[in-house]
Amino acid sequence: MTDALAIARELIRCPSVTPADAGALGVLERLLKEAGFEVHRVTFSEPGTADIDNLYARIGSEAPHITFAGHTDVVPPGDEGAWSLGAFSGEVKDGYLYGRGAVDMKGGIACSLAAALAYLRDHGSKPREDGKGSISFLITGDEEDVSINGTVKLLQWAAERGETFDHCVLGEPSNQEVMGDCIKIGRRGSQSGMLVVEGKQGHVAYPHRAANPVPDISRLIVALSDEPLDRGSAQFQPSNLEFTSVDVGNAASNVIPGSARAKFNIRYNDCHTQESLRALVEERLRVACGNRIRAHIDWLPSNSNVFLTKPGPFTDLAVGAIEAVTGRKPELSTTGGTSDARFISSYCPVIEFGLVGQTMHQIDERAAVADIATLTTIYRGILDKYFA
């Protein structure tokens, strides 16, 4: 059961659609305890949200401390009848492991666990010969949903216990096309909001008695979208404001609506903080409104801040381990959506490196068996170099 493919198959067979655990953490707990890890199962809750089970396991008590992070929860399978093999079958066919979570990210967790167990077997169950060094696993069941009772609180819990991390590898599916083509060293922040334009309701036959917000919100959408927020930075592409819906809540064709709303999302880089970004957009709105248009922005709460692990010895170590196995020098990328790395980055430098992500969240999600073997070898190489 220390083989990565076998672990991945057992994890996939646990239908752990958020917030259900369905036994997935129990699989990890058993294997980690057998290997000598001190294992903690911690449940967090909050009014109005589901209770979430999490796992933290560590072997060793001194620095340097490397932690492997991940999540065992998965998105719903969709139409299970559309899958070539069962969504939670964990079956292998034509060189691919099928099942929800094969790529995102039970496969990555299985590889890191198999690599750590193999490393410890070869080193007398100790990270280093001098007795120093620590390996840990930080696993949540709350990444694919609201991310309230998962990694955020697990990190706080660990800090209160005196746990400190030197570096983290998060096994999200970072590779774009082939194994070894990409390491994520940062992510853009995410901020959503609602543009609200106030008008005056009235009959379309008497427009002088009304104030139509539809043309006004159209002008404001163009004004806020057209001018770039920045030109990008050394590690990040330019920030982007994207409107995603416009609504006036009007079912009648002969009534001028009283207000109009437009949802938007901004993916922003390290040229901004959340506060400075909001201030910039608010100022642009003020200018675009002039003295005539009445509009404001309702900002939605966000814990998706921008973060960056600057290139240095740790990223060089990971690049070297990847290149040694694949022959490819991976790109250091900051593209893509959000992940739990945004929380981990407040505690230690973190990189994301996992399987190829082309089928994540899709029907017939699958990972190449050869890629699972490759990723396990890469993780083992990272441990060898880290504790050398």
Rounded Cα gap, residues 14 and 335, in angstroms: 31
* Cα 143–chain centre separation: 7
How many angstroms separate the Cα of 307 from the Cα of each of 212, 268, 269, 349?
41, 10, 8, 10
Give me the residue label for tokens 């970072």. 174
Neighbours of 215 (CB within 10 A): 12
Known active-site residue 143: yes
User: What pairs with residue 139 in β-bridges?
Assistant: 55, 70
Q: Which of 29, 73, 172, 365 is catalytic?
A: 73
Q: Which of 143, 172, 352, 371 is catalytic?
A: 143
Please answer whether residues 133 and 167 qualify as being in contact, where contact means their C-beta atoms are separated by less than 8 angstroms. Answer: no
Catalytic residue positions, numbered = 73, 143
